[in-house]
Amino acid sequence: SGARVRRAQNRRLPQYLERGVDVKFSDVAGLGKIRLELEEIVKFFTHGEMYRRRGVKIPGGILLCGPPGVGKTLLAKAVAGEAGVNFFSISASQFVEIYVGVGASRVRALYQEARENAPSVVFIDELDAVGRERGLIKGSGGQERDATLNQLLVCLDGFEGRGEVITIASTNRPDILDTALVRPGRFDRKIYIPKPGLIGRIEILKVHARKKPMAEDVDYMAVASMTDGMVGAELANIIEVAAINMMRDSRTEITTDDLLQAAQMEERGMLDRKERSTETWKQVAINEAAMAVVAVNFPDLKNIEFVTIAPRAGRELGYVRVKMDSVKFNNGMLTRQSLLDHITVQLAPRAADELWFGSDQLSTIWAETADNARSAARTFVLGGLSEKYYGMSNFWVSDRINDIDSEAMRILDSCYERAKEILEQNRRLMDAVVNELVEKKSLTKQEFFRLVDLHGSLKPMPPSV
């Protein structure tokens, strides 16, 4: 009767199989060279025999590393879709059960199903939930997790060299994985999927726009340039929200404006996920507002795209996006004047901190921009742009290092005074920008320039260096 039960269990529908997975590489955008690596994994399935005949070992597991929402799950599905194999998936957080033995038996069931329905891709989401280095978790939950992890190791080893079942796991923390997991024959191949850059974001927006009624003249560049730091999941959401906007107004096409509005909403949504005290918001707002208010005085820097204090992964503070004059920038050439202006803008947060909080209340909020200013000032002197020096070959640099530093210091002082002057002259504008930033977290180009028109007193001053 034991055999009968087993047969009945075998006939049971596989519970980890995802049906109708029809994702192709063309659905995943902004991959660049990563795509080649994934195409190779597809070949392990489609040309498995060839690999085996030539004695090339097929990896047991592939680790997709990267922050949430960059498309790791989508990619794993695309591998299965392109190879035309079954896709089994489970989130490792489901393994971590309070009941002893449940996690391990789920792993066993998952792999049994995958093997019975081979060829297949097994996808384990959030591997770090279970694969964290042993001993890091204390108590009985830790014990259970260890049992699950051990089972997973057994299952991974069971497929070595077969290539019929390939495991793909995702993690944001490859660094904390148990070393046993990343040993040869297990997850021995790591692929890093970074957040998309500007071009990547354009491509992702376009992929998601394919199935939507987009206006002919949609400016994807504009949307991509104000979504710095966002990942595919957020970009996909922007398209959905924009579509809802369009429907709400009973229009038939999605416009650039719909997208920009949706992008702002997405950004505000991101904010809600991160808590900050009112004072912190204000301090960050002063920091960013100062850069924008000073930059707007300078011809090469005044083209401000937006100002935000929205927290972003990898960037604790907010930022001001300035669109540089593209011709000058592309030639890699900066004029003496624009370099001085740049230094002045980078010193603005330090100047604002002093003006708004007083020199005895300074924080280090401006540390990064001050650093930029220092290195730009050295570039200025070394490049021969200061009056005193006409460019320095590396040969001289070492014995004139003090001269260079004191000349750089003189330039920094002068730019700092200039930043202070501009800020003092624009206190009303500063207050207005800070208030709106604290309230809305981000200002579009239009919003910012409306405040400049209302409260600004711009008076581009020639530098006195």
Q: Which parts of this chain interact with ligand ADP (CB under 6 A)? A: 28-30, 68-74, 170, 204, 207, 232-233, 236
Q: Of 72 and 302, which CB lies nearer to ligand ADP in the complex structure?
A: 72
Backbone φ and ψ for 316, nearest 5 degrees, come out as -65, -40
Q: Of 24 and 459, which CB lies nearer to ligand ADP in the complex structure?
A: 24
First to last CA, the chain: 94
Q: Is 288 a catalytic residue?
A: yes
Closest distance of CB 247 from ligand ADP, Å: 20
Q: Which of 183, 260, 190 is CA-nearest to residue 227?
A: 260
For residue 219, the 8-state DSSP code is: -
Which residues are CB-neighbours of 271 under 8 A, at least 6 positions away?
Answer: 310, 311, 441
Which stretches does DSSP call E strand in 105-256?
120-125, 165-171, 187-192
For residue 139, the 8-state DSSP code is: S
The catalytic residue among 113, 288, 354, 436 is: 288
Distance between CA atoms of 19 and 32, rounded to whole angstroms?
28
Closest distance of CB 47 from ligand ADP, Å: 26
Distance between CA atoms of 375 and 368, rounded to whole angstroms?
11
Residues present in the chain in total: 465
Closest distance of CB 67 from ligand ADP, Å: 7
Q: Of 73 and 444, which CB lies nearer to ligand ADP in the complex structure?
A: 73
Q: Which of 155, 154, 186 is CA-nearest to residue 57?
A: 186
For residue 182, the 8-state DSSP code is: G
Closest distance of CB 203 from ligand ADP, Å: 7
Q: Of 70 and 345, which CB lies nearer to ligand ADP in the complex structure?
A: 70
Q: Of 195 and 302, which CB lies nearer to ligand ADP in the complex structure?
A: 195
Distance between CA atoms of 68 and 411, rounded to whole angstroms?
43
What is the enclosing helix (H) or strand (E) of 408?
A: helix 401-425
Closest distance of CB 187 from ligand ADP, Å: 16
Closest distance of CB 87 from ligand ADP, Å: 13
Closest distance of CB 74 from ligand ADP, Å: 4
Distance between CA atoms of 227 and 215, rounded to whole angstroms?
20
Q: Which of 377, 308, 305 is CA-nearest to residue 342?
A: 377
Q: Of 89 and 264, which CB lies nearer to ligand ADP in the complex structure?
A: 89
* Residues 15, 17, 21: CA angle, nearest 5 degrees: 150
Distance between CA atoms of 40 and 19, rounded to whole angstroms?
24
Q: Of 236 and 355, which CB lies nearer to ligand ADP in the complex structure?
A: 236
Directed axis angle between helix 401-425 and helix 367-382, to 10°?
Answer: 130
Which residues are bridge partners to 132 per DSSP?
A: 177
- Catalytic residue numbers read 288
